[in-house]
Structure 1
Amino acid sequence: MVPDLGALVPFALVVLVAVYFHTVTGFGVAMVIMGLASSAGIVSVATLASVVSIVTLMNGVALRGNLHHVPWKIVGVMAVAVLPASVVGVLLLDYLSSEAADVIQVLLGLIIVHGGVSLAWRPTPLSTVSGQGSFAYYGFLGGLIGGMFGIPGPPLIYHLYRQPMSLAQIRSALIFLNAFIAGARTLFVMVQGQLHTPEIVLSALCLPLVVVATLAGKRFPPPCSAATMRRIAFVLLVVMGLTLIAPVLMKWLG
């Protein structure tokens, strides 16, 4: 079922903020949309995950003119690990969707909180670039979470922001990997025949919003350092995650 106009307007605002944030940092679109839209109960988590994947894929246009910043060796290792994990994640969400909606909401909240805490936990970059095995490991985790919720961010953000690379490299790597995972997830969902009218309509409505917010992010980035952006992301993600977890805990305890 497609949300009515009263729900679509706040959803559109959420998408604008999320895509702008994602464009200037390399992450955030999935977590912001899933966090705020899930809290508002606009549509189901499964529907949101599909919409988020398509929106993230659209936002890949932010890489235009910036592909030379992508650290391809690192990204290639993570991309290979992402594919099988994305499939497992989609299948796991299918199972949980029919078994425990509250569990899904708590898991989603925990993942979003973890994404925020990860940014604050290790703000200082490592002295040397990590080994390929670690990139494959975090790529697999990102693919698994991306397959479940359309949010590959937390493991990828945590690992890449620790690397001794420029902000442009980190941002470009994250945008590419997020788009890659989103594309893999969307393709698998389509093959399964699970891309229905609500997902298609919401995604179509998001298209012009993605274009506007992406252009705004590229032309008018905020005058913030990488450290400041991490702090902003930390607070935002932790608040959103706790907002999802608290109602379920109160329900269970009550």
Structure 2
Amino acid sequence: MTLDAALPILVTMAAASYFQTVTGFGLGMIAVGVVSGLHLAPVAVIAMVASLVTLANSAMALPGKLHHVDWRAVLFATIGILPSVVVGVLALEYLSQAASGILHFVLGAVVMYGGVTAAFRPASLPERSSNVSFLVSGVLGGVLSGMFGVSGPPLIFQFYRQPFSLIGIRCALIFIFTVTSSVRTAFNAWQGQISQETLAVAVTAVPVVALATLVARAWPPPLSLKASRRLAYSVLMVIGAGLMLPAVLAMFA
């Protein structure tokens, strides 16, 4: 890959890493959305690169801050998300194309509705949710990941509603998405699906991601917890619209 081709990818990775460090999510979503949307690299390649550089992002973002994390919440969410990814993959195989499109639209509408309603009420819950609710959010996130490659919405919504500190929320989300990225990367490596091109792009991107993460740690944007919640819920609206759009376009194709 030439420098001209690699430069916009690296800039996107830097911006996505900064965003994930200050919010706890978004690296994969931004990287895949922008790079594939601009046709800078194949979706499969950039998705794998995003998984690999997520490990670098977490390695720089989490040290010294893990004591802020509610580990029971993370444990139950992780227990839910890992096996349910398989359920999502299997469910997608059994759905017809039409049924998959309808489900895409419905899920997108639900995610958008959740983002809209929460954005108007950005205050946290008065008490921490039960461990079962974190397990359920993990299960829903895993199914979404298996079916559509989008695991974030249920987990983002669940954690940002909690009476946790902002640093605790984003570190918890970074840790969970790092675990899922690690499992996905290990599985793809076992299947021999990590190409030399993917490794080359990832190796080139790691220093950029590390630098962007350090910048985000040192100079985060001056957002209050309420403003951060509004930002997270706004992103959920975008994700919801993105899930709905393919189904809508298919109706008029």
Same fold (TM over 0.5): yes
Q: Deviations over 1:179-211 (max 9, x none)?
A: 111111111111222222232122112101111
Q: Identify if the C-alpha distance between structure 1 residues 6 and 148 changes in structure 2 by more than 3 Å, giving closer, same or farther.
A: farther
Task: Check the 8 A contact 2:16/2:27 in 1, yes or no.
Answer: yes
Q: 2:98 maps to what in 1?
A: none
Task: Check the 8 A contact 2:123/2:226 in 1, yes or no.
Answer: no
Task: Check the 8 A contact 1:147/1:185 in 2, yes or no.
Answer: no
Aligned amino acid, residue 23 of structure 1: T
Residue of structure 1 aligned with 2:19, choices 18, 21, 31: 21
Q: 1:169 maps to what in 2?
A: 168
Q: Identify if the C-alpha distance between structure 1 residues 199 and 175 changes in structure 2 by more than 3 Å, giving closer, same or farther.
A: same
Structure 2: distance between partners of 1:76 and 1:244: 28
Structure 2: distance between partners of 1:16 and 1:130: 34
Structure 1: distance between partners of 2:54 and 2:17: 8
Structure 1, unaligned runs of 5 or more: 97-101
Q: Deviations over 1:2-24 (max 9, x none)?
A: x5543322211111111011111
Q: Deviations over 1:140-178 (max 9, x none)?
A: 222334456664321111000111111121111111111
Q: Identify if the C-alpha distance between structure 1 residues 149 and 192 changes in structure 2 by more than 3 Å, giving closer, same or farther.
A: farther
| Mean Cα deviation higher: 116-125 or 11-20 | 116-125
Q: 1:99 maps to what in 2?
A: none
Q: 2:151 maps to what in 1?
A: 152
Backbone CA RMSD of aligned residues: 3.6
Q: Deviations over 1:38-69 (max 9, x none)?
A: 21122333333222211222211211000111
Percent identical across equivalent pairs?
42
Structure 2: distance between partners of 1:11 and 1:119: 32
Q: 2:31 maps to what in 1?
A: 33
Structure 1: distance between partners of 2:8 and 2:190: 31
Task: Check the 8 A contact 2:157/2:233 in 1, yes or no.
Answer: no
Task: Check the 8 A contact 1:87/1:188 in 2, yes or no.
Answer: no
- Residues 1:183 and 2:182 are matched in the alignment: yes
Structure 1: distance between partners of 2:114 and 2:16: 15
Q: Aligned with 1:49: secondary structure?
A: helix
- Residues 1:50 and 2:48 are matched in the alignment: yes
TM-score, normalised via structure 1 length = 0.80
Q: CA deviation at 1:31?
A: 1.7
Structure 2, unaligned runs of 5 or more: 96-100
Q: CA deviation at 1:227?
A: 2.2
Q: CA deviation at 1:119?
A: 5.5
Task: Check the 8 A contact 1:35/1:109 in 2, yes or no.
Answer: no
Q: Number of aligned pairs?
A: 251
Aligned amino acid, residue 155 of structure 2: L
